[in-house]
Structure 1
Amino acid sequence: MEFTEAYKQTGPCCFSPNSRYVAVANDYRLVIRDTFSFQVVQLFSCLDKISYIEWALDSEYILCGLYKKPMIQAWSLTQPEWTCKIDEGPAGISYARWSPDSRHILTTSEFQLRLTVWSLLNTACVHVQWPKHGSKGVAFNQDGKFAAICTRRDCKDYVNLLSCQSWEIMGSFAVDTLDLADLEWSPDDSSIVVWDSPLEYKVLIYSPDGRCLFKYQAYECGLGVKTVSWSPCGQFLAIGSYDQMLRVLNHLTWKTFAEFLHLSTVRAPCSAAIFKEIDEPLQLDMSELSLDENFMPSNYDASEGYISVRYEVMELPVAFPFQKPPADKPNPKQGVGLLAWSKDSQYICTRNDSMPTALWIWDMRRLEVAAILVQKEPIRAAVWDPTCTRLLLCTGSSHLYMWTPSGAFCVCNPLPGFSISDLKWNIDGSCLLLKDKDAFCCATVPSLPESSDYSSDD
Structure 2
Amino acid sequence: MDFTEIYQQSSNLVAFSPGTHFILTAVNDRLIVRSTDTFSITRTWLVDSSPSPTHPITARPSSKVKPSDAFITHIGWSCDSEHVFAACAKRGVVDVYKLRDEEWNARIDSGAEGLVKAEWAPDGRTVMCFSEWGLRVTMWSLVTGTATYIQYPIHPDKGYAFRSDGRYFILAERHRSKDTLGLYDTSDSYKLVRHFPLPTSSLSNFSLSPNGNYLAVWEGPLEYKLYILTLAGNLLTTFTPNPEPTLGIRQVAWHPSGAFIAIGGYDDKIHILDTLSWSPVITFEYSSRIPAGVTIWHEPQKWLEATEGRGFLSYERIKSPQSITHYQVKSDPTKPNPKTGVIQMDWNRTGTLLLVRFENVPSVIHIFSFPSSSSLPSFSPSNPSSPPSPSTNPFLTQTRLQTLILNTSPILHARWNPNPERAGSLVACTGTKAVYLWSDEWVSGDGGAGDVGAGTSKEEEEQREGMAECVGVPAKKFDTRNIHWAPDGKGLLLLDKEMFCCAFEVVEEY
What TM-score results when the alignment is normalised by the length of structure 1? 0.89
Match of 1:354 in 2: 360
Q: How many Å separate the matches in 1 of 2:255 and 2:85? A: 29
Match of 2:393 in 1: none
Q: How many Å separate the matches in 1 of 2:428 and 2:366? A: 12
Alpha-carbon offset, residue 73 of structure 1? 1.9
Matching of residue 275 in structure 1 with residue 297 in structure 2:
yes
Matching of residue 418 in structure 1 with residue 478 in structure 2:
yes
Q: Given that residues 97 and 105 in structure 1 are in contact (C-alpha distance below 8 angstroms), is that contact kept between their aligned partners in structure 2?
A: yes
RMSD of Structure 2 on Structure 1 (CA): 2.1
Q: Given that residues 108 and 115 in structure 1 are in contact (C-alpha distance below 8 angstroms), is that contact kept between their aligned partners in structure 2?
A: yes
Match of 2:176 among 143, 150, 154: 154
Match of 1:231 in 2: 255
1:438/1:188 Cα in 2 relative to 1: closer, same or farther (>3 Å)?
same
Equivalent position SS for 1:330: coil
Match of 1:170 in 2: 193
Q: How many Å separate the matches in 1 of 2:150 and 2:329? A: 43
Aligned AA (2:416): W
Matching of residue 128 in structure 1 with residue 150 in structure 2:
yes
Equivalent position SS for 2:231: coil
Match of 1:259 in 2: 283
Match of 2:491 in 1: 431
1:332/1:84 Cα in 2 relative to 1: closer, same or farther (>3 Å)?
farther
Match of 2:386 in 1: none
Match of 2:502 among 442, 446, 452: 442
Alignment of 1:284-295 (within 5 A): none
1:34/1:211 Cα in 2 relative to 1: closer, same or farther (>3 Å)?
same
Q: How many Å separate the matches in 1 of 2:34 and 2:140? A: 28
Q: How many Å separate the matches in 2 of 1:112 and 1:68? A: 16
Q: Given that residues 229 and 237 in structure 1 are in contact (C-alpha distance below 8 angstroms), is that contact kept between their aligned partners in structure 2?
A: yes
Equivalent position SS for 2:299: strand
Matching of residue 115 in structure 1 with residue 137 in structure 2:
yes
Match of 2:271 among 247, 272, 277: 247
Alpha-carbon offset, residue 298 of structure 1? 6.0
User: Structure 1: 5+ residue runs without aligned partners?
Assistant: 285-296, 300-305, 449-458
Match of 1:194 among 214, 217, 230: 217
Match of 2:430 in 1: 395
Q: Given that residues 347 and 363 in structure 1 are in contact (C-alpha distance below 8 angstroms), is that contact kept between their aligned partners in structure 2?
A: yes
Q: How many Å separate the matches in 2 of 1:351 and 1:90? A: 41
Alpha-carbon offset, residue 252 of structure 1? 2.0
Aligned AA (1:15): F
Aligned AA (1:189): G
More displaced stretch, 272-281 vs 17-26: 272-281
Equivalent position SS for 2:112: helix
Match of 2:409 in 1: 377
Matching of residue 206 in structure 1 with residue 207 in structure 2:
no
Aligned AA (2:429): C
Aligned AA (2:141): S
1:168/1:204 Cα in 2 relative to 1: closer, same or farther (>3 Å)?
same
Match of 1:40 in 2: 41
Alpha-carbon offset, residue 309 of structure 1? 5.7
1:447/1:423 Cα in 2 relative to 1: closer, same or farther (>3 Å)?
farther
Q: How many Å separate the matches in 1 of 2:303 and 2:368? A: 32
The Cα offsets for residues 194-223 of structure 1, whole Å up to 9 and x where unpaired, read as: 122111112111111111122211224121
Aligned AA (1:417): K
Alpha-carbon offset, residue 308 of structure 1? 8.2
Aligned AA (1:2): D
1:417/1:363 Cα in 2 relative to 1: closer, same or farther (>3 Å)?
same
1:309/1:382 Cα in 2 relative to 1: closer, same or farther (>3 Å)?
same
Match of 1:364 among 364, 367, 370: 370
Q: Given that residues 483 and 494 in structure 2 are in contact (C-alpha distance below 8 angstroms), is that contact kept between their aligned partners in structure 1?
A: yes
Alpha-carbon offset, residue 283 of structure 1? 9.7
Aligned AA (1:314): I
Q: How many Å separate the matches in 2 of 1:66 and 1:413? A: 32
Matching of residue 215 in structure 1 with residue 232 in structure 2:
no
Matching of residue 9 in structure 1 with residue 32 in structure 2:
no
Alpha-carbon offset, residue 27 of structure 1? 0.9
Aligned AA (1:218): P
Q: How many Å separate the matches in 2 of 1:139 and 1:41? A: 33
In proportion to residue count, which structure has more strand? 1
Match of 1:318 in 2: 323
The Cα offsets for residues 57-89 of structure 1, whole Å up to 9 and x where unpaired, read as: 111112222122232222221222122222222
Q: Given that residues 277 and 309 in structure 1 are in contact (C-alpha distance below 8 angstroms), is that contact kept between their aligned partners in structure 2?
A: no
Query: Structure 1 stretches (4+) deviating beyond 6 angstroms?
Result: none
1:15/1:283 Cα in 2 relative to 1: closer, same or farther (>3 Å)?
closer
Alpha-carbon offset, residue 447 of structure 1? 8.4
Match of 1:404 in 2: 439
Q: How many Å separate the matches in 2 of 1:298 and 1:45? A: 39
Aligned AA (1:36): D
Aligned AA (1:27): N
Aligned AA (2:289): T
Q: Given that residues 494 and 502 in structure 2 are in contact (C-alpha distance below 8 angstroms), is that contact kept between their aligned partners in structure 1?
A: yes
Alpha-carbon offset, residue 328 of structure 1? 5.5
User: Structure 2: 5+ residue runs without aligned partners?
Assistant: 50-69, 372-397, 441-465
1:370/1:122 Cα in 2 relative to 1: closer, same or farther (>3 Å)?
same
Aligned AA (1:349): L
Q: How many Å separate the matches in 2 of 1:179 and 1:241? A: 16
Aligned AA (2:363): T
Equivalent position SS for 1:68: coil
1:177/1:43 Cα in 2 relative to 1: closer, same or farther (>3 Å)?
same
Aligned AA (1:225): I
Matching of residue 330 in structure 1 with residue 336 in structure 2:
yes
Q: Given that residues 311 and 472 in structure 2 are in contact (C-alpha distance below 8 angstroms), is that contact kept between their aligned partners in structure 1?
A: no
Q: How many Å separate the matches in 2 of 1:283 and 1:147? A: 51
Alpha-carbon offset, residue 227 of structure 1? 1.0
1:369/1:433 Cα in 2 relative to 1: closer, same or farther (>3 Å)?
same
Q: How many Å separate the matches in 1 of 2:137 and 2:304? A: 57
In proportion to residue count, which structure has more helix? 2
More displaced stretch, 321-330 vs 425-434: 321-330
What TM-score results when the alignment is normalised by the length of structure 2? 0.80
Q: How many residues align?
A: 428
Q: How many Å separate the matches in 1 of 2:304 and 2:15? A: 36
Match of 1:50 in 2: 72
1:10/1:215 Cα in 2 relative to 1: closer, same or farther (>3 Å)?
same
More displaced stretch, 399-408 vs 27-36: 399-408
